[in-house]
Amino acid sequence: MDQPILPPPRSLHRFRRPASRRQPRRRLAALAAVAVSLVLTGAGCSGAEPPAPAGGAAAPAAPVVRGPLCDLLPSGSDPGNPASLAGQPAEAALQWLPVLTTFEAAVRASGLAADLHGGSGLTILAPTDDAFAAKFSEENLDQLFLTDKDKLRGLLREHLVAGSLSLSDMVAAGKVTTLAGTKVAVTGGGGTARVADQADTVCADYRVANARIHIINRVLGTLPTTAAEGGHRAH
């Protein structure tokens, strides 16, 4: 069944998102329901049972996310729940995760949005808003967004890995290479992992179109920490 598309949550930065387009399907859904009802009624009158799915295939399992932060993020039938994001492009799915507003705005500001769903898939290690606040001062972050676009793109590539890798895939590999060329170790198990010996996954295994999103609690890369040099961005 089609789910209604709701407007994404508001970003904390001044980069505006395009409005979501509504695609009403009520009349088509009603006609489809009538058609299904007629088919089932006909099957019941003839004594025939509805055919089983080809090959006995079961419906795909709902996506499962893992980590201590997951309980605070959209779930169940909430907009932005893991199942609702499964078919969305990565740059669109990021808009529904309320702890990733800085990362999502950085993707748009850097011009890397189109790169998130190309090639053979992608793994996104997305730092939380708190991680960015602990790493960069407000002035430094504004400078990255507005003037140091090359440096911002380099920072984001430190959080992107070629191939759509689950958390267990990364732990099994023991090491992944970011698009910036940095090799980072991945260790752990039991639903969480340690990345580059400095960040932990706090809600992993969001499945989106041609990608996986793993939320982490630290910013990766070699840029200096400047958070102590100025105030944090007001929320």
Q: What is the pLDDT along the chain (235 residues), one digit of tens a residue?
A: 454 445 555 444 444 433 443 444 444 344 344 444 443 444 443 344 444 445 544 545 678 999 999 999 999 999 999 999 998 999 999 999 999 999 999 999 999 998 887 678 999 999 999 999 999 999 999 999 999 999 999 999 999 999 999 999 999 999 999 999 999 999 997 789 999 999 999 999 999 999 999 999 999 999 999 998 654 444 3
Residue 198 domain-assigned? yes
Residue 132 domain-assigned? yes
CA distance 74 to 101: 14
CA distance 193 to 214: 10
Return the H-helix or E-strand segment holding 39: helix 26-46
Residue 210 domain-assigned? yes
Q: What is the pLDDT of residue 60?
A: 58
Residue 64 domain-assigned? no
Residue-range definition of the domain harbouring residue 115: 70-229
Residue 172 domain-assigned? yes
Residue 185 is part of a domain; what is its CATH number? 2.30.180.10
Residue 80 domain-assigned? yes
CA distance 210 to 102: 22
Q: What is the pLDDT of residue 54?
A: 52
Q: What is the pLDDT of residue 119?
A: 74
Token pair of 140 as six digits: 């430094």
Residue 32 domain-assigned? no
Residue 102 domain-assigned? yes
Specify the long-range contacts of residues 196-202, CB closer than 8 Å, at least 24 apart.
Answer: 196/220, 199/125, 199/127, 199/131, 201/66, 201/67, 201/167, 202/67, 202/68, 202/69, 202/70, 202/128
User: pTM for this structure?
Assistant: 0.74
**Domain count across the chain:** 1
